[in-house]
Amino acid sequence: MPEAGKALDVCDEPRDSLVGLTIGDRYEVTRRLGRGGMGIVYEARHVLLGKAVAVKVLKTEHGRDEHALVRFQREAQSAASIGNDHIVDVTDFGATPAGEPYIVMELLDGQDLAHLLAKTGPLPVGRALGIARQLARALEAAHAKGIIHRDLKSENVFLVDRDGKDFVKLLDFGISKIHEAGQDPHLTGTGVLLGTPRYMAPEQAKGEPDLDRRVDVYSLGVILYEMVTGRVPFLGRTSLEIVHKHVNVLPEPPRMLRPDLPEEVERVILHALEKDRDARPSSAAELLAALPTPEGYEGAERAWPLTQGPVAGSDSGARSSGTGSGRRTVPAPARSRSGALRVLGFLLVLGIAGYVVSALLPFSPTRPQSPRVVERVVEKRVVEERVVEVPSTPAVRRVRIEIATSPGDARVFLGEELQGTGHVVIEAPRSEIPIPIRVEAAGYASQELLLTPASDLSREVRLSARGRPRDPAREPTEVAPQERQTATTPEDLMGNPYRKSQ
């Protein structure tokens, strides 16, 4: 099964029932392109216009899932309502003869940013800036319509070659949040984590209900970091470990990984990656104004020129498109008491160093001066892991988390630290922030839990033997009702509907 969010390659699977049919009285399905976690993608031809299009069909098993269907419809509605050249164009919505919902989109030739980075590694600075600026403009247009993407990642950034330049198309609004009355609270409600962990803003990772456009600003900062360094700021063995780092760990300055990166570019990246959203750029337009223009940097010839001024309907304020000298200096963001980083949480023991992170205490992490000196010992760069440590407070009430396992010798981990085997009791400060628990045993499929220590709770975890189908009756049973649900983005919610250039 493809990794979450990966682009779909042209599919050589056997002919299926839709190929050759005409759906909606106007789209002749010509071939199957591929499939994602929840959908199948076809190439089709408009029978009157002769125009090739992409048709995304929701799989039958997901068509019966109310939330999946609503997200599918939302993808069509959100993308169609924005009306920006950098947003994929959705032109129609309907159902197949079998009743399966589909959306019709423009068919693009090119590749997504994730594939490009996998092939080339870090991009020239000018090329990265050109892509980032187009993304900022796309987000500005979406935000002006009250739409927050919430799943911005390199897999959802599609690059079309237009006259030797990168033209960006932003994809997949399936989990976007629309600020409007009557929104279903169960689709985007409190405590449900939606998004991709590697690109997730801290407040999104904590399941906060009042997400705003600054989650997209953070994710764009992650993408820009990835474009200039070749990797995302935070890596981990599990999704829970990555989410923990987004909340608690400061990113390694990109110039530590790429010493030739201009300071003004690093400054903008770190500003976008502030953990306190009040300390970040307040909008995509503000980030766009801070981004240097590509001119004067290597790779600038790949940058698509942006039109001047703000998009229609965007907020007033700092809306410069950043034109001018390509190597201008970007002022460092001011830091205030209200902008001090606050980690709302709990004591987490995570990682091989066993750092303990406390919460409910303000702190102001010290930014290193740029450029930082990188010492090399026997040709190996030594980089100190920048984990935020703040003193714990004895006033925090502690709760008991009781884990009983089957088999009885299963090991229970909090983060990466072994807590015991079989029947384990963990004490943790009372908090609304989930903590990661992993249960594993030889010969059994491991399970990961995300438990919220709001009060004493207990769980029975029954592992399934490898190779044996999981019995729903043996699934973990919640005794206390305080567990926060998690629902990270399904494996490529609908799949990338576009074919890759050969």
DSSP 444-482: B--EEEEE--SS-EEEEEEPPBTTSPPPGGGS-EESSTT
Beta carbons within 8 Å of 358's beta carbon, 6+ residues apart: 343, 345, 347, 390, 391, 392, 393, 396, 429
**What is the three-class DSSP state of 202?**
helix
- Band of the pLDDT at 383, cuts 50, 70, 90? very low
- Band of the pLDDT at 13, cuts 50, 70, 90? very low
Can you give the pLDDT at residue 403?
93
Start-end of CATH 3.30.200.20 domains in the chain: 22-108
Can you give the pLDDT at residue 327?
34
The architecture of the domain spanning 110-332 is Orthogonal Bundle (1.10)
Start-end of CATH 1.10.510.10 domains in the chain: 110-332
Can you give the pLDDT at residue 108?
87
Q: How far, in Å, CA of 117 to CA of 133, rounded?
A: 17
Residue 171, CA distances (Å) to 30, 33, 48, 231, 445 in order:
23, 17, 27, 21, 34
Least confident of 58-72, 254-268, 313-327: 313-327
Can you give the pLDDT at residue 38?
64
Q: What percent of the chain has pLDDT over 90?
A: 39
The answer to whether residue 228 scores a pLDDT higher than 70 is yes
Place of tokens 């009285």: 25
- Band of the pLDDT at 65, cuts 50, 70, 90? low
Closest listed residue to residue 386, CA positions, set 275, 310, 284: 275
CB 23 within 8 A of CB 96: yes
Torsion, Cα 118 492 435 236, to 10 degrees, reads -10
Residues 352-372 pLDDT 10s? 233 323 332 333 343 433 333
Residues 149-168 pLDDT 10s? 888 999 989 999 999 999 99
The two beta strands, 417-421 and 52-58, are unpaired
Structure tokens at 56: 């995304």
Rounded to 10 deg, the angle between the 125-144 and 66-82 helix axes is 100
Place of tokens 């709001």: 454
Range 91-116 average pLDDT: 89
The two beta strands, 457-462 and 398-406, are parallel
Query: Which sign, positive or negative, has the C-alpha torsion 275, 277, 278, 284?
Result: positive
Can you give the pLDDT at residue 33?
86
Range 324-330 average pLDDT: 34
Can you give the pLDDT at residue 373?
33
Can you give the pLDDT at residue 16?
66
With residues binned 3-state (H G I as helix, E B as strand, rest as coil), the percentages for the chain, rounded to 5, are 25, 25, 50
Can you give the pLDDT at residue 427?
84
CB 373 within 8 A of CB 239: no
CB 422 within 8 A of CB 408: yes
Classify residue 17 by its DSSP letter. Answer: T
Secondary structure of 242-292 in HEC code, one letter for each residue: HHHHHHHECCCCHHHHCCCCCHHHHHHHHHHCCCCHHHCCCCHHHHHHHCC
The two beta strands, 109-112 and 499-500, are parallel
Burial class of 334 by CB neighbour count within 10 A (0 to 12, 13 to 18, 19+): exposed
CB 286 within 8 A of CB 256: no
Query: What is the CATH class of 22-108?
Result: alpha beta
Average pLDDT, the chain: 72
Catalytic residue among 85, 109, 151, 315: 151
Structure tokens at 125: 């600075």
Q: Which residue has the higher pLDDT, 475 or 451?
A: 451
First to last CA, the chain: 22
Structure tokens at 278: 């009040």
For 53, list phi and psi in degrees, rounded to 5: -140, 165
Least confident of 81-90, 97-106, 266-275, 475-484: 475-484
Q: How far, in Å, CA of 30 to CA of 469, rounded?
A: 37
Q: How far, in Å, CA of 303 to CA of 123, rounded?
A: 12
Classify residue 54 by its DSSP letter. Answer: E
- Band of the pLDDT at 127, cuts 50, 70, 90? very high
The answer to whether residue 111 scores a pLDDT higher than 80 is yes
Torsion, Cα 288 291 296 302, to 10 degrees, reads -50
Secondary structure of 385-428 in HEC code, one letter for each residue: CCECCCCCCCCCCEEEEEEEEECCCCEEEECCEEEEECEEEEEE
Segment holding 64, helix H or strand E? none
Range 296-305 average pLDDT: 91
Q: How far, in Å, CA of 311 to CA of 285, rounded?
A: 9
Q: Which residue has the higher pLDDT, 100 or 195?
A: 100
- Band of the pLDDT at 466, cuts 50, 70, 90? confident
Closest listed residue to residue 314, CA positions, set 290, 279, 286, 278: 286
The answer to whether residue 87 scores a pLDDT higher than 50 is yes
The answer to whether residue 222 scores a pLDDT higher than 70 is yes
Q: How far, in Å, CA of 137 to CA of 222, rounded?
A: 16
Can you give the pLDDT at residue 99?
83
Strand partners, 101: 95
Segment holding 376, helix H or strand E? strand 376-377
Least confident of 205-219, 373-387, 390-404: 373-387
Q: Which residue has the higher pLDDT, 428 or 438?
A: 438
Q: What percent of the chain has pLDDT over 70?
A: 63
Can you give the pLDDT at residue 399?
84
CA atoms within 13 A on the CB side of 369: 1
- Band of the pLDDT at 36, cuts 50, 70, 90? low
Active site residue 151: yes
Secondary structure of 302-327 in HEC code, one letter for each residue: HECCCCCCCCCCCCCCCCCCCCCCCC
